[in-house]
Structure 1
């Protein structure tokens, strides 16, 4: 038994957040106690010898009485089991293919590890973390082991995700391939294999539960789930290649891209920002792009114009309230509303005021432009329609409640 704690490493002057995994040894039998401690030390030593972006870094480990602790990289995010529970529905092809490619990459790394391959033995949604940058992390190496051909031991793993040979105490790379197939099946169907009889995936076809899954992806998962190890993918690299080929066919990836490039793409889908710009308060609205310039409002009361390629500041226009409204562009003018209750028209070139028009409520709506008029809602319960050139109100209509949605004008309606 045990737990995982979020902690701070006080040996550093800066704030360094770490995860501390606690293992409580409650066994009374000396041999069992020794086996539990051995498992803990195995995890610490395995993690100390590996370096991969999808595997948490280990910093330290120690034992205090009956409790042992592993200090490691803190991974902020949720595991795939939690995400499934929150979603209450299967995931789509694109997400599952991306995660599958990234997991195949870390499996290939472990299975080709020197001096001995490492078999994870417990791949399942609960052990796959998704960070806030949408990167995967494989966690809980507590039952991982180095692989020796022909070696056997006790059945260790999770029922439903483990293949037949794992119940016989066998551990080979094929074990992890099967467990990955079971994990992908779970993600694509939202059917928990732990609640089903073992080895019955063929009785629960993926596309029967989720018709949106492609035949090609179903075939890849079914190959990983074959009952006999020789019938599965020969190794994780081949399974990864099959998933990358499918991603290319579906347009997720360019045709001319190497395996390494594709893997890196899916390991870091968020990528690093090209540039950033800091305002004085929150940004709650949406930016508008026009002719190489990004226009974005902020709760610091300013509308900003920034160079789209570099983020360089061009100008800012100060309102008297926060700007949530997504700006609209027409004839080199920027139009938007503000919580100062005004509708603003500003020159694109220098950020100078063209006109302002008052309402009787804060404005969170984004404007729409059609037929020489601007349409925008206000918390004064009215939809306002203004003449673009002069800013004069043409008409308004009382809708009985705050209007914060963005108007849509189609066929004079």
Structure 2
């Protein structure tokens, strides 16, 4: 069925903020989206043309959900793969493909894929339990990462020496050699069913020192053209070797001696691409839609230098969200807040983000500091 037919339907597993921004891009293309999420108050619930409240982890729910969809996609990778495989076997298009999601869902398998396909990544050891971590003290310092279930810094524990081994995970995990990096950078690449690939400009991410999630980013990254092109080439090679259809966010380490190493990937729209809604000719959300629907990929050129600040719930506040300093932020040119429709805040919960567009780098950094110091989510 043609994408722009009145009966065409795109199924979306997940109704969070990524889905909400994808829906906003879908409205521009008049694409009918049906979303599934277990939370009746999920960010997508009020704006999706169709919203189903149910678990994207339950086989029967996902299988039934996909019956009247021509294409099924995701905004979260932790979904029921058996249901997606069955839908795929019955002729439904599922992008990214279930086999790609299966590989990426488990960091152990993901890291082994990089090694097997000669993709640059930090050295690692697979560990089945805490005893296996203790047996590899010579490998330290390293990061102990859960194979499954980790996100936004959860499921990651630094093990610096034998004294830290008691912190190791008891579940199957891996030890990843600590990298002495100069910067953390990221590239988002899109690949459609025809094999066309396009990357967004390389960005530089700054992580929260305690909670290990992106606090803010700058686009483009302050790196040489050679490093930027190397990062983009790695992202394209990774997408092609995976065979993914859709968006792939590739998080990378830039080491102090100029190496570029893959940290992790996400097979979906990603925090490192939120600024593209205002700063690039095509946003990551529109690009994902173009990729999974078999449409030509859009122009990813940036029309301005930009930054993105994550809007996190303030420490010490839980309850009905209030936005302190919003009027002050809205009065500044080139500053664009995006709120995710979450009515309840709690410490460090992602409640929105702010994109700052400004070609003067010094002014850009001033505006970022202003946003960080002014706009607060309290209760």
Quick check: which has more Rg, 1 or 2?
Answer: 1
What TM-score comes out, normalization by structure 1 length? 0.27
TM-score (norm: length of structure 2): 0.29
Higher relative contact order (CA 8 A, sep 6+): 2
